[in-house]
Amino acid sequence: MARILRSILIIAGYAVVALLAAGALYVGVALVLERVPVAKADPAAPADVVVFIRSNGVHSDLVLPVRTDQIDWSQQVRYAHTQANDPSFGYVGIGWGDKGFYMDTPTWAQLKASTAIRAGFWLSTTAMHATFYRAADLGPTPACVALHLSRAEYARLVRYVQASFRHDAAGRVEWIPGHSYGRDDAFYEAHGTYSFLYTCNTWTNNALKAAGQKASLWTPFESGIFYQYGQTGKPPASAAE
């Protein structure tokens, strides 16, 4: 019996070491690849549209003007989908992520192991999160960076974001009623699968690539995105969400 118990402990020890080594490798590779820049905005391109990348210290969003002559986001991500239903907000933050994290984990203290495992290993569905902002909410801070896009660059960004929303037969985005973090946000069904290789921040990073903006070669963390812009992606403690 003692020999069996010893064998089990040895195997468990090897498993723990292997998991720690895999985790260290993952973080190490991420820290290297997030420092490798790809894409770069054309300095000669006109600055037609101002957008933002914004982080709460873990998760990054794109923040877009609600209305331009190219698109009116309020026709899809409607003010009426939020509790406030306030059309005075001029910007909308849009992010993509694991549905379990979004719906079941309002704070890190409520994170369940089952949620983390499902999210990390391609086992759950995804959602879009939209939050309305006013201009005064948008920095500049180390966690909110403004980008100036041409009409063509913004058009590519719009196509990328729209393709991530799931649409019904009538072409409407699929709102998930009854779920929000506050009075100014809403959730929607999304395409794609979350994993440790493709996170919410990977989605944002790829959006920047689609728009021809500075981005990391690959990053699962918000730090890689903001590194390319000389910022940390960490909001002041008083502003953390």
* pLDDT tens per residue across span 48-97: 999 999 998 888 999 999 999 999 999 999 999 999 999 999 999 999 99
What DSSP assignment string belongs to 103-131?
HH-SSGGG--HHHHHHHHBT-S-EEEEEE
Domain count, the chain: 1
Checking if the pLDDT of 45 tops 50, the result is yes
Report the mean per-residue pLDDT for the chain: 86
Instruction: Please name which of 42, 44, 29, 33 lies closest in space to residue 214, comparing C-alpha atoms.
Output: 42
Look up the pTM and report it.
0.87
pLDDT for 5: 65
Residue 80 lies in a domain: yes
Distances (CA, A) of 241 to 18, 130, 176: 34, 15, 22
Strand 126-133 to 91-98 pairing: antiparallel
Residue 126 lies in a domain: yes
Residue 58 lies in a domain: yes
pLDDT for 117: 64
Q: How confident is the model at residue 18 (pLDDT cuts 50, 70, 90)?
A: low
Residue 198 lies in a domain: yes
Question: Between residues 50 and 239, which one has the greater pLDDT?
Answer: 50
Q: Two tokens at 210?
A: 């689609």
Q: Over pLDDT 70: what percentage of the chain? A: 80
Contact between 115 and 104 under an 8 Å Cβ cutoff? The reply is yes
Residue 136 lies in a domain: yes
Instruction: Please name which of 73, 51, 72 lies closest in space to residue 63, comparing C-alpha atoms.
Output: 51
Residue 109 lies in a domain: yes
Q: How confident is the model at residue 236 (pLDDT cuts 50, 70, 90)?
A: confident
Find the domain containing 80 and state its range: 34-239
Q: Over pLDDT 90: what percentage of the chain? A: 63
Checking if the pLDDT of 162 tops 60, the result is yes
Distance CA 62, CA 207 (A): 8
Residue 99 lies in a domain: yes
pLDDT for 241: 44
CA 226 to chain centre: 13
Residue 230 lies in a domain: yes
Mean pLDDT of 20-44: 77
Checking if the pLDDT of 217 tops 90, the result is yes
Checking if the pLDDT of 214 tops 70, the result is yes
Strands (DSSP E) found in the chain? 37-38, 49-55, 60-65, 91-98, 126-133, 144-149, 175-176, 185-189, 215-216
Strand 37-38 to 215-216 pairing: antiparallel
Checking if the pLDDT of 23 tops 60, the result is yes
Evaluated on CA atoms 110, 112, 116, 118, the torsion sign reads negative
Three-point CA angle 27, 28, 29, nearest 5°: 95
Mean pLDDT of 141-158: 96
Mean pLDDT of 32-52: 86
Contact between 77 and 94 under an 8 Å Cβ cutoff? The reply is yes
